[in-house]
Structure 1
Amino acid sequence: RRRGTAAPPPRVTVAPAGSRLATVIEVRAQDAPGLLHRIGQALERSAVRVRSAHVSTLGANAVDTVYVTDASGKPLAPGEAAELAREVERALG
């Protein structure tokens, strides 16, 4: 990023075709201390189970992908997945 430019706001998306076994949530945000902690807290509040998480930092940007399921181990329904993405985005805002 150029000096003096503002970082873009965090973006959280659902990848509907990302996995047959879990719901895939992708988080793109400026890397900062506590970023993963805030993501984890939002996931915990939403009572989802994390199957796996893939964390990448590219320069000043973090690209984190989390595979989650409901309490019974199934992918989230589309509405639940969209609400989870909004909850994670609120936690980062």
Structure 2
Amino acid sequence: MTVAPAASRHATVIEVRAQDAPGLLFRIGRALEDAGVRVRSAHVSTLGANAVDAFYVTEEQGEPLPIEEAVAVARKLEEALRA
């Protein structure tokens, strides 16, 4: 899990690297929704058995996430992927 707050002027980029599995994208999407963020853009790819997904997320008002909130969202994503 990588948080890149400076990767975009308009959104916070959260990159997820995980072993690909059925339902992985659903679990990520549900965790992002539960965290209350909006996904402006998603770049989803699979390299062999691994998923490499980048999500450009914002607050409800459309602003990039403050770094503390971005880190908290990344933690929620990690928890969702472990479940």
Shorter chain as normaliser: what TM range? Answer: over 0.9
Contact 2:5 2:11 in 1 (8 A): no
For 1:65, what is the secondary structure of its paired residue? strand
Partner residue in 2 for 1:55: 44
Identity value in percent = 71
Q: Provide, for residues 3-60 of structure 1, a one-character-per-residue CA deviation record: whole Å limited to 9, x for no partner.
A: xxxxxxxxx1101221010000000000000000000010010111110000010000
For 1:76, what is the secondary structure of its paired residue? coil
Q: TM-score, normalised by structure 2?
A: 0.96
Q: Provide, for residues 48-77 of structure 1, a one-character-per-residue CA deviation record: whole Å limited to 9, x for no partner.
A: 111000001000000000000001000000
Partner residue in 1 for 2:9: 20
AA of the residue aligned to 1:83: A
Partner residue in 1 for 2:76: 87
Structure 2 spans left out of the alignment, 5+ residues: none
Structure 1 spans left out of the alignment, 5+ residues: 1-11
Structure 1 residue ranges, 4+ long, deviating more than 4 angstroms after superposition: none
RMSD, aligned CA = 0.5
Partner residue in 2 for 1:35: 24
- 2-structure distance, mates of 1:62, 1:17: 23
Would you tell me which structure has more helix in proportion to its own residues? 2
- 2-structure distance, mates of 1:70, 1:33: 28
Partner residue in 1 for 2:57: 68
Q: TM-score, normalised by structure 1?
A: 0.86
